[in-house]
């Protein structure tokens, strides 16, 4: 492999290695987008003492609200949830055939998927180290199946590289580590790096690079049957007279570097995306449904809160009963756990102190769009042998994800055709639902040409146009957290807030679980002290 990167400096070498191995800066950016470290959940909550029938009202039947209600009920409190929607789960939702949803501008969208097919517009995967939400799934008998994050047969795609042709992940990652291993081993052999290694350790390092990068005896990464055993063959080994395999051509490192495909190559190795990940069988919304069944008539649906007033003895909630034609009603309790998204709560009068109100007003909500399509056949499996996983692209759709269930079935299937954040999401949010779907199909055809012919119908979800949340999740910055986070989480009089926005695991259900447990533990302690 002679044309790796000629005359590379030590500084450039280490920087290039950092693209693969050094992800601290990217990790911080991803944390603000909702990708965070493992949960500090340590086991089921134990609220010592008894609530003695004291009444606590909870605003919101999302994960945080329902965890709060479940545990406070079990501790002897009288609990009631007021929920804006006609369903439990909040952002934990799955869209099925016949369900109609209305965006904030009045646009209605009816799901036309075949029976049994579904789409998760909100959370769609649970990391193995999100112990809290997994524990509640176990308690509520929500059956889990594996979620495939990394599929070596999925695609990496850039419209400006390889003539716009998608490349298999296994080819790019193996050629990249092979090229880097060659580069590093030759730099070591030329004493071009400052290594505080003994001669024996240096030899071991070279041996490890030779094995890791599948290098030959000259420390070259070349086209061979050995490299093909990792990146895939041009012709696979078989039986009989046609058994002999053929090696596939490697891609030189300089071509991979120029392609920018490495930018999406490392995401699968973040702690929260490592195996094993999970999803509920039948859709993520099964978790919200299970909580809803468990809590039963504790939840009052179609209750739109319009004002929250607290005094020395309790909290009064004023709400519109949309089940009763918008009639204004009120509910009184001694305490309140408020899990309303800050994007909505900032518009509801609530007499809390200035520090908490400033915190509520300071956190913007990220924009996100997901688009799904139903297809006549599972062409990604039948034609391209992709079973689960995610393909990444520089197109506005950002990624295409493949279902983790129904493998080898001859029927129809659902693809996640797009999952966007930031400016791309804002652009698609401004479109009407059908226009979003059509655009996603048009762009997705650059990766899967079959998409246009096999497409039947689609569904799009723009989080900023959902009236009960007006965004996807609380988008904290480091500066905002330092200034407002603790004030947001304090108990203000008789009100405490909870939700993913009151956690260091934003956008994940685990953030809602751990925030709720922390909030009600402190609230219970305060109640017991009075």
| 51-80 tens-digit pLDDT | 899 999 999 999 999 999 999 999 999 999
Q: Is there a single domain that holds both residue 182 and residue 323? A: no
Residues 291-313 have pLDDT tens digits of: 999 999 999 999 999 999 999 99
pLDDT tens readout for residues 24-42: 333 334 443 334 457 888 8
| 279 in the same domain as 388 | yes
* CATH classification of the domain holding 515: 3.50.50.60
Q: CATH number for the domain including 442?
A: 3.90.660.10
Average pLDDT over residues 169-190: 96
Q: Does 495 lie in the same domain as 457?
A: no
| Domains held by the chain: number | 3
Tell whether 107 is covered by a domain.
Answer: yes
Q: Are residues 387 and 446 in the same domain?
A: yes
Lowest pLDDT segment from 29-43, 120-134, 368-382, 405-419: 29-43
Q: State the pLDDT at residue 31.
A: 40
Residue 279 lies in a domain: yes
Q: Confidence band (pLDDT; 50, 70, 90) for 8?
A: very low
Express the helix, strand and coil content of the chain in percent, nearest 5 each.
40, 20, 40
- d(C-alpha 403, C-alpha 94), whole Å: 14
The three-state secondary structure class of 282 is: coil
Which burial class, exposed, middle or buried, applies to 100 when counting CB atoms under 10 A from its CB (0-12, 13-18, 19+)?
A: exposed
Same domain for 61 and 109, yes or no, is: no
Last residue of a domain, one of 423, 447, 465: 465
| Position 14 confidence tier, pLDDT thresholds 50, 70, 90 | very low
Residue 307 lies in a domain: yes
Q: Is residue 239 part of a domain?
A: yes
279 and 381 co-located in one domain: yes
Q: Do residue 507 and residue 522 come from a single domain?
A: yes
Return the closest-CA partner of residue 121 out of 285, 274, 277, 280: 285
120-159 pLDDT tens trace: 999 999 999 999 999 999 999 999 999 999 999 999 999 9
Q: Do 376 and 460 sit in the same domain of this protein? A: yes
**Claim to verify: residue 418 and residue 354 sit in the same structural domain:** no
Residues 90-117 have pLDDT tens digits of 999 999 999 999 999 999 999 999 999 9
* Overall average pLDDT of the 338-342 stretch: 98
Q: In terms of domains, do 371 and 460 share one?
A: yes
Residue 492 lies in a domain: yes
- Residue 431 — very low, low, confident or very high, per pLDDT cuts 50/70/90? very high
Residue 486 lies in a domain: yes
Does 485 reside within a domain? yes
Q: How far is CA 248 from CA 1, 191, 271, 315, in A?
A: 14, 32, 32, 70
Q: Which has the closest alpha carbon to 460: 228, 165, 113?
A: 113
Q: What is the reported pLDDT for 37?
A: 56
Strands (E) located in 74-229: 78-82, 95-96, 100-102, 108-110, 118-119, 126-127, 144-147, 155-157, 167-168
**Whole-angstrom Cα distance, residue 78 to residue 75?**
9
For 236-276, how does the pLDDT look when each residue is reduced to its tens digit (9 = 90+)? 999 999 999 999 999 999 999 999 999 999 999 988 898 89
Domain with 215 in it: what CATH number? 1.20.1440.240
For 15-137, list the strands marked E by DSSP: 55-59, 78-82, 95-96, 100-102, 108-110, 118-119, 126-127
User: Residue 140 domain-assigned?
Assistant: yes
Parent domain of 182: 168-259
How many CB atoms lie under 10 A from the CB of residue 369? Answer: 28
79 and 116 assigned to the same domain: no
Per-residue model confidence (pLDDT) at position 40: 81
Instruction: Kindly list the distances between the CA atom of residue 104 and the CA atoms of 94, 430, 468, in Å, as whole numbers in the listed order.
Output: 19, 12, 9
d(CA 200, CA 376): 60
Mean pLDDT of 513-519: 98
Residue 1 has pLDDT above 70, yes or no: no
Whether 188 and 333 share a structural domain: no
């Amino acid at each position: 492999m002679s044309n790796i990167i000629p005359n590379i400096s030590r500084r450039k070498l280490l920087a290039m290695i950092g693209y693969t191995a050094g992800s601290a800066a990217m990790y911080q950016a991803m944390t603000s987008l909702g990708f965070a470290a493992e949960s500090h959940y340590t086991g089921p909550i134990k609220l010592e003492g008894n609530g003695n029938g004291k009444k606590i009202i909870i605003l919101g039947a999302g994960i945080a609200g329902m965890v709060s209600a479940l545990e406070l009920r079990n501790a002897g409190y009288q609990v009631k949830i007021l929920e804006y929607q006609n369903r439990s789960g909040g952002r934990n939702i799955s869209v099925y055939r016949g369900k109609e949803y209305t965006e904030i501008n009045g646009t209605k969208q009816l799901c036309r998927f075949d029976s049994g097919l579904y789409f998760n517009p909100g959370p769609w995967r649970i990391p193995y180290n999100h112990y809290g939400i997994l524990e509640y799934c176990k308690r509520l008998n929500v059956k889990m199946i594996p979620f495939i994050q990394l599929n070596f047969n999925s695609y990496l795609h850039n419209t400006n590289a390889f003539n716009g042709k998608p490349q298999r992940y296994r080819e790019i990652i193996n050629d990249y580590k092979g090229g880097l291993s060659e580069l590093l081993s030759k730099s070591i052999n030329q004493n071009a790096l400052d290594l505080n290694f003994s001669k024996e350790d240096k030899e071991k390092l070279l041996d490890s690079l030779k094995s890791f990068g599948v290098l030959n005896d000259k420390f070259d990464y070349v086209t061979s049957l050995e490299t093909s055993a990792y990146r895939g063959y041009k012709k696979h080994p078989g039986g009989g007279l046609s058994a002999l395999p053929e090696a596939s051509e490697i891609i030189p490192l300089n071509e991979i570097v120029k392609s920018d495909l490495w930018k999406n190559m490392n995401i699968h190795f973040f702690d929260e995306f490592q195996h094993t990940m999970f999803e509920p069988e039948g859709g993520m919304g099964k978790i919200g449904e299970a909580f809803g069944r468990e809590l039963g008539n504790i939840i009052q649906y179609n209750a739109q809160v319009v004002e929250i007033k607290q005094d020395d003895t309790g909290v009064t909630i004023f709400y519109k009963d949309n089940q009763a034609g918008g009639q204004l009603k009120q509910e009184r309790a001694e305490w309140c756990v408020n899990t309303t998204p800050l994007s909505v709560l900032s518009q509801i009068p609530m007499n809390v102190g200035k520090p908490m109100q400033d915190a509520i007003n300071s956190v913007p909500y990220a924009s996100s769009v997901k688009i799904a399509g139903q297809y006549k056949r599972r062409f990604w499996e039948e034609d391209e042998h992709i079973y689960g996983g995610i393909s990444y692209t520089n197109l506005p759709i950002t990624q295409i994800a493949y279902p983790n269930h129904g493998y080898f079935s001859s029927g129809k299937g659902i693809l996640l055709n797009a999952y966007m954040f930031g400016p791309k999401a804002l652009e698609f949010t401004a479109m009407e639902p059908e226009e979003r779907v059509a655009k996603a199909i048009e762009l997705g055809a650059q990766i899967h040409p079959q998409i246009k012919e096999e497409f039947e119908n689609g569904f799009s979800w723009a989080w900023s146009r959902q009236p009960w949340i007006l965004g996807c999740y609380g988008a904290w910055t480091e500066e905002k957290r330092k200034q407002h986070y603790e004030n947001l989480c304090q108990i203000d009089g008789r009100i405490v807030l909870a939700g993913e926005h009151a956690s260091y695991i934003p956008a994940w259900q685990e953030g809602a679980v751990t925030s709720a447990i922390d909030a009600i533990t402190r609230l219970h302690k305060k109640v017991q002290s009075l």
